[in-house]
């Protein structure tokens, strides 16, 4: 990684930064996927006809790298079905008909937390996953056993994607929860230094977090340049600490843990109330949306119902995204359910959704010049075309975080992110085959 980080300047479009989140009415149905995180699918423990209440466990974690799932409404389980993910694969899901009452389950009680192990167990039971993007189970991230390895924790509050302001609202509206989350990390993970990293284009959030830090000497607010992808995990680590996370290693290998600010606020809330992760504050925006807002949504709610809360559409929508325009993924249907790690749903009209015409690569080198890791997407394309896996490995295609800077800056409008993903898939297949061959030779 270079001494000076690179990225791209994208339009901020933070239209909803001043929008205090509203709570949407209970939806008629929720369809809750059993895969909303990195790791093993959750295991369903309910059946059609069962009555469930808000916060009731409906699926257990399927493995250590996994997360339990809870009902976001009170009502009746109608079917165990399947839904299509943004990756294009069907996953099992629980469809619940809401009774409109939002009755809280009697099992929802604050957990007993008095040491490191009980804290990690509580985080796991909460269903917490990274709420800023990838959905990695938070209990696994915090379960480092030897807490002396942790030199600092970074609270990722950069929120560098265009449009999205849900984390901004967390910092403004839920500063007390973030402050309590910091105290929990200090107490149970024995952390002596916490950095809150925020891009400089969020003055109200910066002021809120500075008030928090004034009461806690372990906490420092770091105001970061506004560029994309400042919020990338390895990028924000380098921006704040100067540390480089080596290929194939995790942040904890350099003594750092990165946690999203809304994830931290949720953990503090769970420890206080016992209410697991059943709702999500999301930004609803895009050129086609009539009245952009931040909305608190029960997990499993169809996107179409959330758009209705925002007045529907002022233009005919032609593309829907879960997440931001840089790393978000297009969905095949507006009825796709909101999941745990959604931080935004966006709707674009045909003019703004129009895919630019591709032309031939002119070997300008812009993709490499603007890549935060100085990777070479143009060479990846040539290696992929030649099926040269060794070259893809040599050029470190697996370091690509799929941030989209290369595609954004490419004058030929080539789908470089998709190409890089294909390259990584080819490498994974190759390495799996090699491992199998090595095993068979023993």
The one-digit pLDDT tens for each residue of the chain (442 residues) are: 446 778 999 999 999 999 999 999 999 999 999 999 988 899 999 999 999 999 999 999 999 999 999 999 999 999 999 998 877 789 999 999 999 999 999 999 999 999 999 999 999 999 999 887 778 999 999 999 899 999 999 999 999 999 999 999 999 999 999 999 999 999 999 999 999 999 999 999 999 999 999 999 999 999 999 999 999 999 999 999 999 999 889 999 999 999 999 999 999 999 999 999 999 999 999 999 999 999 999 999 999 999 999 999 999 999 999 999 999 999 989 999 999 999 999 999 999 998 889 999 999 999 999 999 999 999 999 999 999 999 999 999 999 999 999 999 999 999 999 999 999 999 999 999 988 888 887 6
Please give the structure tokens belonging to residue 233.
């995990």
179, 213 contact by CB (below 8 A): no
184, 271 contact by CB (below 8 A): yes
Q: How many residues are given for the chain? A: 442
Considering the domain 116-273 in this protein, what is its CATH number? 3.40.50.11540
215 contacts: CB under 8 Å, gap ≥ 6: 179
Please give the structure tokens belonging to residue 65.
């790298």
DSSP string, 30-75: EEEES--SSSSPPEE---TT-EE-BT-EEEE-SSSS---EE-SS-E
Residues 7-33: b if buried by 16+ CB within 10 A, e if exposed: bbebebbbbbbebebeebebbebbbbb
DSSP alpha helices (H): ranges in 143-222?
A: 166-173, 175-188, 203-213
Domain assignments of the chain as residue spans, ordered by start: 116-273, 366-441
């Amino acid at each position: 990684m270079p001494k000076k980080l690179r990225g791209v300047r994208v339009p901020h479009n933070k239209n909803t930064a001043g929008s205090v989140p509203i709570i949407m009415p209970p939806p008629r149905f929720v369809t809750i996927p059993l895969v909303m995180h990195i790791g093993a699918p959750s295991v369903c423990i309910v059946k059609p006809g069962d009555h469930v209440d808000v916060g009731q466990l409906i699926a257990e974690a399927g493995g250590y790298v996994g997360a339990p799932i809870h009902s976001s409404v009170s009502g009746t389980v109608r079917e165990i079905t399947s839904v299509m993910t943004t990756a294009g694969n069907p996953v099992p899901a629980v469809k619940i008909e809401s009774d409109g009452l939002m009755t809280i389950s009697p099992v929802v009680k604050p957990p007993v937390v008095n040491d490191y192990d009980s804290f990690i167990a509580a985080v796991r039971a909460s269903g917490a996953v990274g709420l800023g993007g990838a959905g990695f189970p938070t209990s696994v991230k915090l379960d480092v056993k030897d807490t002396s390895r942790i030199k600092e924790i970074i609270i990722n509050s950069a929120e560098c994607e265009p449009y999205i302001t849900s984390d901004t609202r967390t910092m403004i509206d839920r500063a007390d929860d973030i402050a309590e989350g910091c105290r929990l990390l200090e107490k149970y993970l024995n952390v002596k230094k916490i950095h809150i990293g925020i891009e400089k284009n969020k003055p109200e959030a910066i002021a809120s977090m500075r008030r928090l830090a004034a009461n806690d000497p372990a906490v420092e607010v770091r105001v970061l340049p506004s560029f994309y992808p400042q919020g990338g995990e390895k990028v924000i680590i380098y921006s704040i600490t100067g540390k480089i996370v080596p290929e194939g290693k995790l942040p904890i290998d350099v003594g750092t843990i990165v946690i999203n600010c809304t994830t931290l606020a949720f953990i503090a809330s769970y420890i206080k109330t016992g209410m697991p992760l059943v709702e999500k504050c999301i930004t609803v925006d895009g050129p086609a949306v009539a009245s952009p807002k931040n909305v608190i949504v029960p997990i499993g709610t169809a996107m179409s119902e959330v758009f209705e809360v925002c007045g529907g559409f002022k233009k005919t929508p032609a593309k829907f995204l879960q997440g931001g325009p840089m790393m978000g993924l297009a969905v095949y249907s507006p009825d796709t359910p909101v999941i745990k790690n959604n931080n935004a749903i966006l709707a674009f009209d045909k003019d703004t959704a129009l895919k630019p015409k591709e032309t031939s690569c002119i070997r300008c080198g812009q993709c490499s010049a603007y890549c935060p890791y100085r990777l070479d997407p143009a060479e990846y394309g040539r290696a992929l075309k030649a099926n040269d896996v060794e070259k893809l490995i040599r050029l470190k295609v697996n370091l690509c975080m799929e941030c989209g800077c290369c595609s954004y800056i490419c004058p030929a409008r080539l789908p470089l992110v998709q190409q890089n993903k294909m390259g990584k898939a080819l490498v994974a297949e190759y390495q799996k085959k090699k491992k199998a061959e090595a095993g068979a030779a023993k």
